[in-house]
Amino acid sequence: MRCCVRAGVLMAVVWCSALVMLSCVGTTAVGDGGGRAGVLPERPPVFVESSVWTFQGASGMAYTTGHYRLLTTVDRPLLRDRLPGFAEASLARFVEAFPEMPRPASGLEVFVLSSRPEWERYVVEVYGGEGLDRYRGIERGGFTQRGRAVLWDIGVQDTLAILAHEGWHQHAQVTLREPLPSWLDEGLGVWAEGFRWDVFRPDEPVFLPWANVERFDQLRRAASRGGLMPLDQLLTERPQELMRVSSESTLTYYAQCWALAQYIMGDPARRTSLGRLLEDAAAGRVMMRIEQRYGERAARSAVLRRSGLEVWKLYFGEDIDAEREAFAAYLQQVVAPGSKNRIVRGESPV
């Protein structure tokens, strides 16, 4: 189970009875020079089959694409029409960004309900009262369980950002034999949220991991209050437990995981280490490697609790004290005066 507390293409839509063809030109950011984002090679159009779907009397639509079955009761035409193409493009972005992971099969399920009360009714119907108790702490967002993402409409931009976040969890859940630690899984989920619409082609998203003002503002707010966690604490926290403590600590956790993902993705050596970790998780070798280095108890804790220092030490560096200082210095660079202007532009402040 993964959850998010609170990314493509869009589409020239051609209706042919129950068949929709979506233009699928992906756009991604290249460098931080302030120029126009680089354009990836054009991909084949995304064909979408559509049909009527209802949930407890609420009318909706079911969309089937090459990788997704997306069911929604959303009544905003702009959001509803963008969901299938955005989901496919977000997945294509993961395949391009993380070639170490296997390609996912088809049949990924996404449910986007029109409101929080409707989302709660769906959770009760599918997961029972225990499921609602488990996810009730999600104030704005959604969750992914066993490869199925369930979210609700919180506005066009924010819903698509959450769709990208939960899309990462789906991708990881269906392609990796062993789960990633929470700090990395959630970090890459929040890393996936950032996008803007292309100013030259307004129906196409540009993926910009730094373009996440909400997470940046939370990071800066926590830094100003002395509330940032040291690296070793971040690596051992569990988000589901933080949700029971306070929403503020949970939001700070997600913001720091976002910064940690940037810290990893922006450094060639750490990115190479991430690749090795993803390959091992796909092959089911992480627990074995931790056990060989740190013992059986540490391996079970790292994989079952999805927290602890062992994964970081094994793949990114044994010297936790040095890593703690380096990451703390990095966070201060990220939240330094003037950095928000670069965040708004989707550029690295570091």
Dump pLDDT digits (tens) for 254-263.
999 999 999 9
315 with 176: CB under 8 angstroms?
A: no
Strand 46-55 with 58-64, pairing: antiparallel
220-228: average pLDDT: 96
C-alpha distances (whole Å) from 145 to each of 111, 142, 170 are: 12, 10, 8
9 with 23: CB under 8 angstroms?
A: yes
Q: Cβ of 217: how many Cβ atoms within 10 Å?
A: 15
Tens digits of per-residue pLDDT, 291-302? 999 999 899 888
What distance in Å separates the CA atoms of residue 155 and residue 161, rounded to the nearest whole number? 10
Q: Give me the residue label for tokens 């810290």.
A: 263
pLDDT of res. 246:
75
When pLDDT is cut at 50, 70 and 90, the band that residue 5 belongs to is: low
What distance in Å separates the CA atoms of residue 248 and residue 62, rounded to the nearest whole number? 36
103 burial type by CB count under 10 A (0-12 exposed, 13-18 middle, 19+ buried): exposed
pTM above 0.75, yes or no: yes
Pull the structure tokens for residue 61.
Answer: 């639509």
Q: Give me the residue label for tokens 């959630």.
A: 186
Minimum mean pLDDT among 75-79, 198-202, 334-338: which range?
198-202
